[in-house]
Amino acid sequence: MNDFFPCQGKYLPDKPIVLMLQIQFIADRVKWHIFHLEKEIQTGSLAVTGPEQQLILPSLEEGSYGIEIEIYDNDSLIDSLVTAVNVGGDTVRYGFLCDFQDMDSEAVRLLAKYHITHVQFYDWSWKHDSLVAPQDEYEDMMGKHNSLPVIKERIEACHRHGMLAMAYGAVYAACKKFRDSHPAWGLYNTDHQPLVFIDTFYYMDIDSPWREHLMQQYRNAVQLVGFDGIHMDTYGEPKTAYTQNGEKRDLKTGLPSLIRDTHASFIEHSIQPHLIFNNVGTWPVEATRDCPQDAVYMELWPPMDRYHHLRTAVQKAGNHPVVLAAYPAAFRTDIPERALYSQLVLSSAIAMLGATQLFIGEKNAVVTQGYYADYSVLSPEQVRQIRSYEDFFVRYGDLLYDRSLEDVTYTHFGGDNIEYRTDQPCSPDGEPDKIWITIRENENRRIIGIINLCGIQDDHWNTGKSKPEAQENINLHVLIGRPAVTVWYASPDINRGNPIQLKHIASVHPYGLDVQFTIPSLSCFGLVWIHYD
Mind listing the pLDDT tens digit for each residue in 211-266?
999 999 999 999 999 999 999 999 999 999 999 999 999 999 999 999 999 999 99
- Going by C-alpha positions, the residue among 279, 174, 296 that lies closest to residue 236 is 279
Output the pLDDT for position 210: 98
Q: Do domains 3-87 and 94-170+211-238+276-400 have the same CATH topology?
A: no
Output the pLDDT for position 137: 97
pLDDT tens-digit readout, 383-406? 999 999 999 999 999 999 999 999
Tell me the C-alpha distance between 379 and 297, whole Å.
28
DSSP 508-522: EETTEEEEEEEEEEE
Pairing state of beta strands 94-97 and 118-121?
parallel
CB 349 within 8 A of CB 326: no
| Assigned architecture for domain 94-170+211-238+276-400 | Alpha-Beta Barrel (3.20)
pLDDT tens-digit readout, 420-465? 999 899 999 999 999 999 999 999 999 999 999 999 999 999 999 9
CB 208 within 8 A of CB 185: yes
CB 517 within 8 A of CB 501: no
Question: What is the pLDDT of the chain when averaged over all its residues?
Answer: 96
Share of the chain above pLDDT 70, in %: 100
Output the pLDDT for position 465: 98
- Local confidence band at 1 (pLDDT 50, 70, 90 cut-offs): confident
| Assigned architecture for domain 3-87 | Sandwich (2.60)
C-alpha R_g of the chain: 24
- Going by C-alpha positions, the residue among 389, 419, 424, 414 that lies closest to residue 527 is 389
- Local confidence band at 370 (pLDDT 50, 70, 90 cut-offs): very high
Tell me the C-alpha distance between 319 and 317, whole Å.
7
Domain ranges of the chain: 3-87, 94-170+211-238+276-400, 406-532
Tell me the C-alpha distance between 71 and 28, whole Å.
8
Output the pLDDT for position 528: 98
Output the pLDDT for position 532: 86
Mean pLDDT, rounded, for 270-280: 97
Pairing state of beta strands 322-325 and 356-357?
parallel
- Local confidence band at 105 (pLDDT 50, 70, 90 cut-offs): confident
Share of the chain above pLDDT 90, in %: 95
Output the pLDDT for position 493: 97
Q: Which helix (H) or strand (E) holds 341?
A: helix 336-352
Tell me the C-alpha distance between 192 and 197, whole Å.
16
pLDDT tens-digit readout, 138-172? 999 999 999 999 999 999 999 999 999 999 999 99
Output the pLDDT for position 483: 75
Mean pLDDT, rounded, for 40-64: 96
- Taking 80 as the threshold, does the pLDDT of residue 341 lie above it? yes
CATH tag for 406-532 (out of 2.60.40.1180, 3.40.50.720, 3.30.565.10, 3.40.720.10): 2.60.40.1180
- Going by C-alpha positions, the residue among 456, 124, 166, 99 that lies closest to residue 323 is 166
Output the pLDDT for position 482: 78
- Taking 80 as the threshold, does the pLDDT of residue 492 lie above it? yes
Output the pLDDT for position 327: 98
Mean pLDDT, rounded, for 181-190: 96
- Taking 80 as the threshold, does the pLDDT of residue 522 lie above it? yes
Q: What's the Cα-to-Cα distance from 310 to each of 222, 282, 322, 448, rounded to whole Å?
A: 33, 10, 11, 17
Mean pLDDT, rounded, for 129-136: 97
- Taking 90 as the threshold, does the pLDDT of residue 533 lie above it? no
| pTM over 0.85, yes/no | yes
Output the pLDDT for position 484: 76
Residue 388 three-state SS: helix
- Going by C-alpha positions, the residue among 8, 59, 43, 63 that lies closest to residue 394 is 63
Q: Which helix (H) or strand (E) holds 231?
A: strand 229-233
CB 60 within 8 A of CB 99: no
Tell me the C-alpha distance between 327 and 460, whole Å.
12
Mean pLDDT, rounded, for 28-54: 96
Q: Which helix (H) or strand (E) holds 80?
A: strand 76-87
β-partners of residue 451 are: 436, 525
